Amino acid sequence: MTSPGSPPPVPKRRLLDQVRDTIRLKHYSLRTEETYVHWIKRFIYFHSKRHPREMGGAEVTAFLNHLVRTRDVAAATQNQALSALLFLYRDVLAEPLAWLDGVERAKRPARVPTVLSVKEVAALLARMTGTKWLMASILYGAGLRLTECLTLRVKDVDFDYRQIVVRQGKGSKDRRTLLPEAVVEPLKAHLARVKKLHERDLEQGFGEVGLPDALELKYPNAGRQWGWQYVFPSYKFSADPRSGVIRRHHVYENYVIRGVKEAVRGAGINKHVSCHTLRHSFATHLLESGYDIRTVQELLGHSSVETTMIYTHVMNKGGRGVRSPLDRVEEARASYAAGAAG
């Protein structure tokens, strides 16, 4: 009971709000926030809405095993759920879990990435126009992930040095990659149109873009500056999912995803192709052109060269670069036939 005149007690934050606060304090992406909240909710509902403080490693193990046994989830999906729950107990509840020895891990199948040939990339891009063509060309020509392309800022495109600076890529790492010569002039023309759009937004009292981390507090006016604007802005305003502020966000990911899928169908390419396939193709084609694997690793932003090595297995040289003996037999047969005819 509070004494007269004392301030009312501050209500305790709900668990999921605490999760969101902690994620934002650590500057994790919105996508990570949504994923972690999703899995924590599913964990709580699986155990009949018991509070996680009342549970521990045994309940986490039971939930993860349920995902494998009953839901038959992929290894990556189970790892997502595990990461979310480890974050919950370690960073939010400050009750780190001991190593979960009883977890049945989903098996991660060894898959070789889908790669397009140079002719197939040409056929795909030939069936795209405008901004969709430009984005797909940068995905392939610079080896960007889709999110990296969507969140690209004007200031991070360096026309003089022909390079793109990727900020906070996978693992929150920055890197530099190349700016293809083929997109320089189309990209300059695109940015001229985007700048006019930004100037019109400023005149209407908008024109402020969201900034990463706590830069909005440190530099209150930076969000209105041209350099911080998205290279590929949305055609409409929307509410910021975290602050609720009405802004022009970057273009929605489905815009280019649908464009690539339509181009794949139009080109008659009978492979499972996504936007990420263009990044795989970028790496493979560089290696086929003789570039050093360490250079390719740096351009892709891989932490380990072993990750980049996967592309050596899909290069256009047959299985692991081995020449089939049938081809030598056919050459010998052709040579023998030619000699007999002579």
Which CATH class for the 111-320 domain? mainly alpha
Q: Which residues fall within 8 angstroms of residue 124, CB to CB, at 6 or more apart?
A: 116, 136, 260, 263, 264, 267, 269, 273
DSSP per position, 17-31? HHHHHHHHHTT--HH
For 242-261, write each residue's pLDDT tens digit.
Answer: 778 889 999 999 999 999 99
Reply yes or no on whether 50 is catalytic: no
What average pLDDT does the segment 53-68 reach?
A: 92
Confidence of residue 109 (pLDDT cuts 50, 70, 90): low
Query: Helix, strand or coil for residue 249?
Result: coil
Confidence of residue 4 (pLDDT cuts 50, 70, 90): low
Reply yes or no on whether 248 is catalytic: no
Give the pLDDT confidence score for residue 43 in this predicted structure: 96
Reply yes or no on whether 47 is catalytic: no
- Of the residues 20, 249, 279, 285, only one is catalytic, namely 279
| 209, pLDDT greater than 60 | yes
- Of the residues 47, 167, 190, 276, only one is catalytic, namely 276
**Rounded CA separation 100/45 (Å):** 21
Neighbouring CB atoms inside 10 A of 300's CB total 22
Judge whether 65 and 77 are in contact, CB under 8 Å: no
DSSP state of 131: H
∠ CA 225-259-315, rounded to 5°: 100
Reply yes or no on whether 145 is catalytic: yes
Helix axes 118-126, 253-267, angle to 10 degrees: 110
Mean pLDDT, the chain, as a whole number? Answer: 88
Judge whether 141 and 134 are in contact, CB under 8 Å: no
- Domain covering 15-92 in this structure, CATH number: 1.10.150.130
Reply yes or no on whether 170 is catalytic: yes
CATH topology identical between 15-92 and 111-320? no
Reply yes or no on whether 155 is catalytic: no
DSSP per position, 84-112? HHHHIIIIISS-PPPP-TT--PPP----P
| 1, pLDDT greater than 70 | no
Judge whether 137 and 279 are in contact, CB under 8 Å: no
For 267-320, write each residue's pLDDT tens digit.
Answer: 999 999 999 999 999 999 999 999 999 999 999 999 889 888 888 877 755 545
Q: Can you read off the two tokens belonging to residue 293?
A: 């694997």
Domain limits, the chain: 15-92, 111-320
Judge whether 62 and 50 are in contact, CB under 8 Å: no
- Of the residues 47, 155, 170, 224, only one is catalytic, namely 170
Judge whether 77 and 106 are in contact, CB under 8 Å: yes
